[in-house]
Structure formats: structure tokens, C-alpha cells
Amino acid sequence: MRLLILGTGGMAAKHAESFSAIDGVSVVGGVDVIPERLAAFCAEHGIEHQFGSIEDALAWGEFDAVANVTPDQVHYPTTMTAIAAGKHVFCEKPLATDAGKAMEMTEAIEGAGLVGMVNLTYRNSPALQKGRQMVLDGAVGQVRHVEASHLQSWLVGNAWGDWKTESKWLWRLSKQHGSNGALGDIGIHIVDFTSYGSGLDVAHVCARLKTFDKAPGGEIGEYVLDANDAFTMNVDFTTGAIGTIQASRTAAGQLDQLRLRVYGETGSVEIMYDTGQSTLRACLVDDVNTATWRDVSLEPVETNYQRFVAAVRAGATQEPSFRRAANIQKVLDMAQVSDREHRDEAVA
């Protein structure tokens, strides 16, 4: 399988390393609008062919699939171009900046009979996969309530760098640079983590988004810092269960923590991913009477990168698919409407 990396900043190195480590996969080309960045990336990863646009790469055409690692607002036009050329696509999240575009991309790739998957990276957590299976197998009984959070601290600490001076962080704080803030950036992760881990689909959402003052006049250079930094959601699921979902970039002491607790009629599970480490605990059967939680052992799971390669080879899309990402985007879109209109919103 021959792969093209589209966009060579941010997560691109992870894509190149992960795909190159899979037997039979070759990263054969790179695309970026910044020549210096492209050249450095290709030199670092031993990539032979370099292109300044997706159109130039497609004119060459000697590849089977595209890893789309461009900024959020560029996902739609570049992915649609790749689909039209008959290429499979592995896209960074979010699939698009709104559900309408995401569903258009979904229908296009499904209609073309191509594999389309989205890199919802926390699906790679063994705790999430094992915890979900326990819930689906009935270990906790019927789910009644969930609580979930995704906490980061890069707006209050420098462990990830200085956001005030680095464009790779500043663009995430600015609507005019294509960001939907914490809701669009990490909200898609925690909503998917919650829904996938609990086996439930969101039916209604009531959300509040918050943008904090971070610089004089709310601007740093060309960046207007108007995207949301934190959010909370109250949700109803289609089964009648309820839940709370929250995320923040201002959670001092948390580098990158996702936590999901699923409470059922006969037991509970706690799924945790914390800066690369996965843990799973459960309170089941007689332990419910003493509120005793026990660790659950975990086994390694396939990564999204491995699943995408397997899907292309088999000619059948695996999860997380474009359709899954589009449906999660509907929840995020309705959260924005809910915040703006100050009311519950149904997720169609």
C-alpha cells in the first residue's frame, strides 16, 4: 500500500511513523504549501516525492491512499478532491467544521466505494475497547447515567510549549483561522469516547461554551482569541439514560486526561486514558454492596492506523468511519446552537 501524507505539520510525523511501521506500507509522497516545512519533513521520514498541492500529487498519482493531516477547515476541499480521484482517505479529526460538510464527505466516499476513516486517536486505548465490550456484554446492566471529561492544561502551563507565541496553538483559539475551539478540537474526542464507551447515542444536548480573557484586547498578532476554551454538556441518550460531558484546556495538573464512568442498574465501569496510559476499573456483582472497585486487566489493541490499512486491503471500511465522525459532528453543532439559543437541542 502506497500512502501520501497531506499536510506535514502537527500530527503528520505520527502518521508517517505509524504507517511506515506497518508491513507492506510505504509513505511515498508528502504535500504542503510551505516548501521548507515539506522538505524538512520528507528528509526526516525518507519520503521521496514532494508536492505543493493535492492537485500536483494527484497529477502524479502513484499512491493508493491519503492521510489528510491538514488544518480543520482544509479537510473538506482536499478530501473531496482525493475522493473524486479515487483515493482512500484517512482523515484527522474533525472530519469537517460542520455536520453538513462532514455528511457530504461521508456520502461521497461511500458512494465511490472507497475506504474513509477518521483518526479518533483515543479509540487506540485498550481501556476504552475493553470497557465498551463489558458494557455491551451486559456487565453493568442497563446504562442509566454516564459522566465524562477531557481535561488539558496547555492554556495554564507550558508542558506542551508556549501557546502565546506558537502558531500551532494560537490557530486553535481563533474562529477566523478555522477553529471551533475546545468543542471542535477535543469535544469530538470526548463525545466519541463517551458514546462509544457507553454504547449509547446522544439524542438531546444542552451545552454551555466559555471563552476566557487570555490577552489584552483578546488578540495576539493576527489571531483573534474568540474560540471557546471550555464547555459543559448535559445530554439525553436515545435509551433514556442521561449524562454529563465536559472539556477544558485550563485544567491545571492534567496534561491530557479522558475519563468516562458508566453507571448501570447492576454495576459500573470507569474508563481512563491519561497522557498515554490506559486504566480500567469496575464495580460489579457483590462489589456493588461495598462500593469496591477492582482493576481490570488489559490487552493491546490495534491502532486506527492498522485498522485503516487492513480496511484498504480488504476493501471494507472499519470504525471509526466517516459516518461515525459526521454523526458526532451533529452533536457538536447542536451544542453550539444550544449555547447560542439557551435551550435543549435535538440531535437529528
pLDDT reading at 331 higher than 90: yes
Residue 45: the pLDDT is 97
Strand, helix or coil at 152?
strand
CA distance 44 to 38: 10
Strand, helix or coil at 199?
coil
Residue 329: the pLDDT is 97
Ranges of beta strands (E only) in the chain are 2-6, 26-31, 49-51, 65-68, 88-92, 116-119, 143-152, 202-210, 219-220, 223-224, 230-237, 242-248, 256-264, 267-274, 277-284, 294-295, 345-346
pLDDT per position as a tens digit, 65-98: 999 999 889 999 999 999 999 999 999 999 999 9
Ranges of each domain in the chain: 2-121, 126-300
Residue 168: the pLDDT is 85
Residue 165: the pLDDT is 95
Q: What is the distance, to the nearest Å, from the Cα of residue 200 to the centroid of all Cα atoms in its chain?
A: 18
Residue 178: the pLDDT is 82
HSE-up (13 A, CA, CB side) for residue 315:
3
Residue 9: the pLDDT is 87
pLDDT per position as a tens digit, 111-131: 999 999 999 999 999 999 999
Residue 44: the pLDDT is 97
Q: How confident is the model over 259-283, as a mean pLDDT?
A: 98
Q: What is the CATH number of domain 2-121?
A: 3.40.50.720
pLDDT reading at 1 higher than 90: yes
Q: How confident is the model over 8-36, as a mean pLDDT?
A: 96
Q: How confident is the model over 3-12, as a mean pLDDT?
A: 94
Task: Provide the whole-model pTM.
Answer: 0.95
Mean pLDDT of the chain: 97
Instruction: Let me know: does 296 contact 277? Beta carbons within 8 Å.
Output: no
pLDDT reading at 348 higher than 90: no
Residue 59: the pLDDT is 98
- 204 vs 10: which has the higher pLDDT: 204
Instruction: Let me know: does 342 contact 208? Beta carbons within 8 Å.
Output: no
Q: What is the DSSP string of 247-262?
A: EES--TT-SEEEEEEE
Q: How confident is the model over 35-55, as a mean pLDDT?
A: 97
Q: How confident is the model over 282-300, as a mean pLDDT?
A: 97
109 to each of 156, 179, 304, how far by Cα in Å? Answer: 40, 24, 18
- What CATH class does 126-300 carry? alpha beta
246 to each of 13, 200, 207, 243, 313, how far by Cα in Å? Answer: 29, 17, 9, 10, 38
The pLDDT confidence band at residue 41, using thresholds 50, 70 and 90, is very high
pLDDT per position as a tens digit, 138-150: 999 999 999 999 9
Q: Is 127 left (phi over 0), alpha (psi -120 to 50) or beta?
A: alpha
CA distance 296 to 270: 10
| Identity at 262, one-letter amino acid code | V
- Could you tell me which of 198, 40, 229, 221 has the C-alpha nearest to residue 132? 198
The pLDDT confidence band at residue 10, using thresholds 50, 70 and 90, is confident
**Residue where the block lists cell 457483590:** 286
pLDDT per position as a tens digit, 149-195: 999 999 999 999 999 999 889 999 999 988 899 999 999 999 999 99
CA distance 227 to 208: 13
The pLDDT confidence band at residue 225, using thresholds 50, 70 and 90, is very high
**Residue where the block lists cell 454523526:** 327
The pLDDT confidence band at residue 323, using thresholds 50, 70 and 90, is very high
